[in-house]
């Protein structure tokens, strides 16, 4: 396990289609947010709707420790660092090139003191005796539980998996979660039921479920599911991205207004 620190302190998917002209930097791979920038060089998955929605909608209260599994560009960890000003965040990324890029994004952000990057598998990192339990564990995991093959190795790593991945994810997340902590995942609707069953086997229950729709009259294509150990009445709601074609909904704008320059 290679541990890469932004500083000395411890601690997929639908592409975003924006409807304005990209700057030269954005076209070359730098995505500009209000408080930080995200270089996407070497990452199999670029900044995308799944990731930014997870970063904007998940989490409640004041988590002190956060773990991002499959950091990619680091965008989710950066969004959570902006939202939770006291949180210390660990991020895991298996792909070496993506890990280097994420580390650079962490170092160049205003939150570098609270971010740490680990290059390697989450099984290796979480399978040991960690000195910390996490108040919030998040992941925008590979979402194709199929035998489909993608010739792009980086995209295959970012997008494709099998059920053993989610077995490991739920087992190790439960084992490293604080008693009152939460695990939040964004998943395709077709995968969500399988993951819910695996989580329940680990003693977790569903606390919250957000169904993501493109339009109000369309079927949901993603779910953000939050699990925890504590007994809690399950909440459920829908989240609509577009009010109409090429026009974002008010709830999407409210969710991303602290992050996106266009809002």
Percent of the chain having pLDDT more than 90? 75
Relative to beta strand 242-244, strand 247-248 is antiparallel
Tokens standing for residue 70: 């499959």
pLDDT tens-place string over residues 68-126:
999 999 999 999 999 999 999 999 999 999 999 999 999 999 999 999 999 999 999 99
d(CA 90, CA 255): 23
Tokens standing for residue 45: 């998955």
pLDDT tens-place string over residues 10-20:
333 444 444 33
* Longest CA pairwise span in the chain (Å): 50
What average pLDDT does the structure give for the chain? 87
Q: Which of 81-85, 110-114, 136-140, 231-235 has the lowest mean pLDDT?
A: 231-235
pLDDT tens-place string over residues 51-74:
999 999 999 899 999 999 999 999
Residue 1, pLDDT score: 52
Q: Which residues 6+ apart lie within 8 Å of 80 measured at CB? A: 55, 58, 59, 66, 68, 87, 89, 136, 138
d(CA 73, CA 31): 10
Report yes or no: 216 and 223 within 8 Å, Cβ to Cβ.
no
Under CATH, which architecture does the 2-12+24-256 domain have? Answer: 3-Layer(aba) Sandwich (3.40)
Domain boundaries, the chain: 2-12+24-256
Q: How many CA atoms lie within 13 A of 93 on its CB side?
A: 27
Band (pLDDT 50/70/90 cuts) for residue 142 is confident
- Record the pTM: 0.86
Residue 121, pLDDT score: 96
> What average pLDDT does the segment 196-206 reach?
97
d(CA 80, CA 57): 10
Residue 162, pLDDT score: 65
Residue 163, pLDDT score: 79
Chain centroid, CA 61 distance in Å: 18
Band (pLDDT 50/70/90 cuts) for residue 7 is very low
């Amino acid at each position: 396990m290679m541990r890469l620190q932004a500083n000395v302190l411890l601690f997929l998917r639908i592409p975003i289609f924006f409807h304005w002209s990209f700057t030269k930097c954005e076209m070359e791979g730098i995505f500009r947010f209000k408080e930080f920038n995200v270089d996407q060089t070497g990452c199999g998955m670029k900044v995308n709707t799944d990731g930014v929605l997870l970063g904007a909608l998940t989490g409640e209260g004041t988590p002190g420790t956060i773990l991002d599994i499959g950091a990619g560009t680091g965008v989710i960890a950066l969004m959570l660092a902006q939202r939770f000003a006291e949180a210390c965040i660990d991020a895991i990324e298996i792909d070496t090139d993506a890990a280097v890029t994420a580390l650079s994004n962490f170092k160049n952000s205003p939150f570098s003191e609270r971010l740490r990057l680990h290059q390697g598998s989450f099984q290796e990192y979480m399978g040991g005796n960690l000195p910390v339990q996490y108040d919030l564990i998040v992941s925008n995991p590979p979402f194709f539980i199929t035998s489909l093959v993608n010739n792009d190795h980086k995209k295959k790593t970012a997008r494709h998996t099998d059920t053993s991945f989610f077995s490991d994810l739920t087992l190790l997340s439960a084992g490293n979660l604080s008693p009152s902590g939460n695990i939040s995942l964004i998943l395709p609707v077709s995968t969500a039921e399988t993951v819910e069953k695996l989580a329940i086997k680990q003693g977790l229950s569903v606390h919250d479920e957000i169904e993501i729709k493109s339009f109000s009259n369309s079927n949901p294509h993603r779910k953000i599911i939050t699990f925890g150990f504590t007994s809690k009445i399950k909440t459920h709601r829908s989240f609509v991205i577009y009010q109409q074609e090429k026009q974002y909904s008010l709830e999407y704008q409210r969710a991303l207004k602290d992050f996106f320059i266009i809002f």
